[in-house]
Amino acid sequence: MPLGETDDVGDWPRIRELAELAESEALDSLWVADHFFHRTPDEEPQGLHEAWTLLSAVAAVTSRVEVAPLVLCSAFRNPGLLANMAATLDVVSNGRLVLGVGAGWHDPEFEAFGYPIDHKVSRFEEWIEIVVRLLRGEHVTFDGRYYETRDAVVVPAPRRRIPILIAGNRPRMMRLVARHADAWNTAWFGMPDDRLRERLGDLDGALDAEGRDRGDLERTVGLLVRDPDQPGDDDEDWFSGSVEELAELLNAHEQLGLAHAVVILEPRTPQSVRRLAEAVRLSRG
């Protein structure tokens, strides 16, 4: 379940309440988006709390749920710094971190803070190789177009193999998923549709091209779930069924081989968290 947007649930006491409730209701994971803001041409920026700070705080007030970014933008943090951050948060969380990463996409925040918007995937390709090698305990010397390291190492080394999740749907990102990731995320969906099935097929093709077993990568999906009594538009990506229908939705994605669902709730309230938890229990029989 994602947390962190600075709307009506953006204050830390409410975020903490929802995180602790999600854990007590036996949900599996808590996720945080990584953006400075989101801005459309005709609107004021909509902001988010800084992802890693919030993840660290959530890790400190929980003990069981996995904590994860969905997903960290590679451009915002040097690969060596990020690898060290990941190793540290995995210690703080007692081995509960899933490191979700991606290349970024929202140009207005890149431009606002002076990050380059060109060659995002090429930059990510170098960045992720360095991060993966550092987190696997290597001393890394790398001479790329965008990044350089000289006998770089994370000390103390990670205590375990931190799972790396990559989000991306285009062919080059799919190949990098197949090459480096432990898990992959695609989003955002309601009921499974042809768009989702096409992406799953593209992933299988990328795994085949990299010579990797299709069963070696965990597939995850981002879902949009709105309470039935919550007003909203007619966007077909949002699912607004009953608790029983929500359980069926989760099962439908599981039947496609999707091992984990990251669910954005609308609204994000204690009631909606309990509703999701009940659907999860029903889906598991």
Mark which of 132, 164, 196 sits at the end of a domain.
164
Residue 8 predicted with pLDDT over 70? no
Same domain, 125 and 232: no
H helix or E strand, kind and range, residue 15: helix 12-24
Query: Sorting pLDDT into bands at 50, 70 and 90, what band is 41?
Result: confident
Average pLDDT of span 102-106: 97
Instruction: State the CATH number of the domain containing residue 66.
Output: 3.20.20.30
* Residue 3 domain boundaries: 1-13+29-164
Is the same domain home to 187 and 263?
yes
Question: Do 120 and 180 share a domain, yes or no?
Answer: no
pLDDT tier at 64, thresholds 50, 70, 90? very high
pLDDT (average), residues 25-32: 97
Tell me which residue of 216, 208, 221 sits closest to 259, measured CA to CA.
221
Q: What percent of the chain has pLDDT over 90?
A: 89
Average pLDDT of the segment spanning 261-278: 97
Q: What DSSP element (H or E) covers 156?
A: none
pTM summary value? 0.95
